[in-house]
A and B are shown apart, each in its own frame.
Chain A
């Protein structure tokens, strides 16, 4: 399969010959592909300022997959949209730094952002039914992204679109390219979205809940596809999800978000095998498992916080079963710092509890099936 010439900032000339193998992105010397530092995203509204993201930092390297986990309203989607500068600048206040492949995204001009989008980093959106334009042919929608960043003629664009549809495993791609999104099944639409995301061979792929709208069997196929494509092209993936099972399947690293902040992060092995935050415990505990005893599904009590009036101190404390163990009402009054807890946690966590490991091993682990 022919792939496009190596992507760069801006359009590629006609004379670049396409290579016959997939382009492998090499890791940059020093520094990750994506470096987010102290990201803050706020939306001033008539009812108050919505603090969607209140200080988020993470990094992703080429060839790796970072999963960002959280409930709705945790800020996971908002922070990812910020990477591509997709928020309305008039209605958003952003600060912090997002360094994408050497370019600072926060404060970047619209023109600069456009050069990055779909080119250096691409996004796969959650609901392909609504994310694809209902009145445009699927092939045209994919070709459009390609033609924007490559100075080639329309026929080449269409050919590329068909290539991509084939690459993501859609049978009969020539015919499918001429069809409309509603003529595709749910799984196929998601594949088409992935084709759209990858058409310019971006170094970073952000997948926002790519499997949520799909049946379980199709989910597995899509995740496999993403994994294969990553292996082939060496891109970095940020996978946004609320589903820990997906995280366990495909991610290398995981970042748990709550109330607009990171509350725990580390490698998947670390966090899933040795979780060190009550919220993560709650997430793991609420996973129904086959063969487990008991007659009730466990949910984390309470509801997600309002982003306009977040709780004082630790954002999770109203729902935390262990807040009472922290002396002096610290959970109420002070936001815990994010960092490893020597002796209790190897990887960063944001919690005041001092006996995280002990509590987990003695009280929480036995109840998780």
Chain B
């Protein structure tokens, strides 16, 4: 078992490292010239570009730049630019080209926003998905079931940003039936926090739950067909107990795995939600940084979300190994 854990962790680290390499290559080592990109618009002349290049150490060999960067992520480093030396504690993701603030600090400030969106949305996924899925599976083949399947299929197929945008424009701006998207930290009060996120939760929750409804239903249908459900029935217990205590208990475990992985993947920032509802989370930060060519920030976001996905995958794998006593670790 220990060997397995070690191997999985090594794999996870290698993937995050590779992401760093890829991102670095993309930004600093590609045929393009980051200094030129940074320079941006009209005021650019060769002298300005050179200044930028020197100031951000872009004139050094790529391998050195990367080594400095990688070392910084693990152990922190000091960054000199424009004659000043700035400390950058681990994990050091560089300094923003635009705001001259540490990227890590910026991310840390933005993560709670994404988390707030996710926690509300994921709760809704389960609140809608599980009961609906169980209900549909229990009445499998009936008109109600077909209606549920058809509805989730349809809603789930609509590209998310369309209803999100419509909701935002028509229901929070034009006719403010719902509070406008805006992030207030929990410290400002639960109600304020929730109201700023409500619109995002509703839209993301409704559209994201369709997958869960389908998945719970499928898992329940399979579980209900199992022998142990028949055994449960043969004990004379109520249908309710059979459904929840026996069938659902077994059906939920794969659903929770998906849930965990979905959560991990969403850490890349629920980009559409954040941009449409003006919530400054990780995804929003990345999109914004793109507009201003703030490469360290973009890189930081990318590495962070890759690390989250990999980390969460690892956690889910390990937890599953402990929770499901039958899993043999090969």
- B247 nearest CB neighbor, chain A only: A133
Say whether A203 faces chain B, with CB atoms less than 8 Å apart. Answer: no
Residues of chain B within 8 A (CB-CB) of A145 are: 235-237
Decide if A130 touches B227 in the complex (CB within 8 Å): yes
State whether A117 touches B228 (Cβ < 8 A): no
Q: Are B230 and A86 neighbours in the complex by a CB distance under 8 Å?
A: yes
Contact check, A133 vs B236: say whether CB atoms are below 8 A apart: no
Tell me if A249 counts as interface (CB < 8 A to partner B). Answer: no
Known: A125-B227, A132-B228, A132-B231. A182 touches B326 (CB 8 A): yes
Q: Does B30 contact A (CB under 8 A)?
A: no
What are the residues of chain A within 8 A of B232 when measuring CB–CB?
133
Q: Is B227 a contact partner of A127 (Cβ separation < 8 A)?
A: yes
Is there a chain A Cβ closer than 8 Å to B57's Cβ? no
Q: Tell me the minimal C-beta distance from A124 to chain B in angstroms.
A: 9
- Report the minimum CB–CB distance from B153 to chain A (whole Å): 22
Alpha-carbon separation in the docked complex, A45 to B46 (Å): 79
- The contact string, 1 if C-beta is below 8 Å from chain B, for chain A 99-138, is 0000000000010011111110011010100111111100
Contact of A134 among B235, B237, B326 (CB under 8 A): B326
Q: Which of A193-218 contact B (CB under 8 A)?
A: 196
A38 interface residue (CB < 8 Å to B): no
The smallest beta-carbon distance between A206 and chain B, in angstroms, is 9
Specify the chain B residue showing the minimal Cβ separation from A91: B141
Q: Which of B234, B246, B250 contacts A86 (CB 8 A)?
A: B234
Contacts of B228 in A (CB 8 A): 130-134
A130 to B325 CA separation, bound complex (whole angstroms): 15
CA distance A141 to B250 in the complex (A): 14
B53 interfacial contact with A, CB 8 Å: no
Measured between beta carbons, the chain A residues less than 8 angstroms from B47 are none
Interface digits, B96-127 against A, CB 8 Å rule (1 contact, 0 not)? Answer: 00000000000000000000000000000000
Interchain pairs with CB closer than 8 A, number = 65
Contact assessment for B236 and A149 in the assembled complex, using a CB-CB cutoff below 8 Å = yes
B236 touches A118 (CB 8 A): yes
Of all chain B residues, which has the CB nearest A180? B325
CB distance from A4 to the nearest CB of B (A): 14
B246 contact set on A, CB distance < 8 A: 133, 136
Contacts of A117 in B (CB 8 A): 233-236
Q: Is the CB of B234 within 8 A of A84?
A: yes
User: Which of B231, B237, B239 has the most chain A CB atoms inside 10 A of its CB?
Assistant: B231
Interface membership of A163, Cβ < 8 A: no
- Looking at chain B's contact residues, the main secondary structure is helix
A131, A132, A183: which has the most chain B beta carbons within 10 Å? A131
| Contacting pair A131 B235 (CB below 8 A) | no
B249 an interface residue at 8 Å Cβ cutoff? yes
In the assembly, what is the distance between CA of A229 and CA of B78, in Å?
A: 80
Q: Is the CB of B250 within 8 A of A134?
A: yes
Q: Is there a chain B Cβ closer than 8 Å to A148's Cβ?
A: yes
Contact residue among B230, B239, B249 (Cβ-Cβ distance under 8 Å from A135): B249
CB distance from A231 to the nearest CB of B (A): 24
**Residues of B within 8 A of A (CB-CB), count:** 20
Closest CB in chain A relative to B239 CB, distance in Å: 7
A252 contacts the other chain (CB 8 A) = no
Given contacts A133-B228, A134-B326, contact A110 B236 (CB under 8 A): no
Q: Is B154 an interface residue (CB 8 A)?
A: no
Chain B residues lying within 8 Å of A127, measured Cβ to Cβ, are 227
Residue A144 is within 8 A (CB to CB) of chain B in the complex: yes
Known: A86-B230, A125-B230, A130-B226. A135 touches B235 (CB 8 A): no
Query: Which chain A residues in 151-168 approach chain B with CB under 8 Å?
Result: none
Distance in Å: Cβ of A363 to nearest Cβ of chain B: 43
Q: Which residue of A lies closest to B252 (CB)?
A: A135
Q: Provide the bound-state CA to CA distance between A123 and B232, in Å.
A: 11
Q: Which residues of B contact A86 (CB under 8 A)?
A: 230, 233-234
In the complex formed, the residue of A with least CB distance to B228 is: A133
Residues of B within 8 A of A180 (CB): 325
CB neighbours of B326 from chain A (8 A): 134, 182
Q: Is the CB of A144 within 8 A of B235?
A: yes
Distance in Å: Cβ of A80 to nearest Cβ of chain B: 11
Residues of A contacting B238 with CB < 8 Å? 114
Contact A182 B236 (CB under 8 A): no
Q: How far is the CB of A23 from chain B (nearest CB, A)?
A: 19
A55 to B268, CA, bound (A): 64
A157 to chain B, nearest CB (A): 12
Bound form: Cα–Cα A135–B235 in Å: 17
- Cβ-defined contact, A122 with B237, below 8 A: no
A residues less than 8 Å from B237 (CB atoms): 114, 144-145, 148
CB-CB under 8 A from A132, the residues of chain B are: 228, 231
Q: A84 vs B239: C-alpha distance in the bound complex, in angstroms?
A: 15
- By the criterion CB–CB under 8 Å, are A115 and B250 in contact? no
B203-239 at interface with A (beta carbon < 8 Å): 226-228, 230-239
A116 touches B236 (CB 8 A): yes
CB distance from B329 to the nearest CB of A (A): 15
**A154-B249 Cα distance, complex, nearest whole Å:** 20
Q: 1/0 per residue B145-166: CB within 8 Å of A?
A: 0000000000000000000000
Chain B residue nearest to A193 in the complex (CB) = B231
Query: Which of chain B's residues 246-289 have a Cβ closer than 8 Å to chain A?
Result: 246, 249-250, 253
Other than the given A135-B250, A144-B237, 12 more pairs (CB < 8 A) read: A84-B234, A86-B233, A114-B236, A114-B237, A123-B234, A130-B227, A130-B228, A131-B227, A131-B228, A134-B228, A145-B237, A149-B236
Sample (14) of A-B pairs whose CB atoms are under 8 Å apart: A86-B230, A113-B236, A117-B236, A118-B234, A131-B230, A131-B231, A133-B231, A133-B232, A134-B250, A135-B249, A145-B235, A145-B236, A148-B235, A183-B325
List the 7 shortest-distance A-B pairs measured between CB atoms, nearest first.
Answer: A117-B236, A145-B235, A130-B227, A133-B228, A114-B236, A131-B227, A118-B235
Chain A residues with CB under 8 Å of chain B are 84, 86, 90, 110, 113-119, 122-123, 125, 127, 130-136, 144-145, 148-149, 180, 182-183, 196
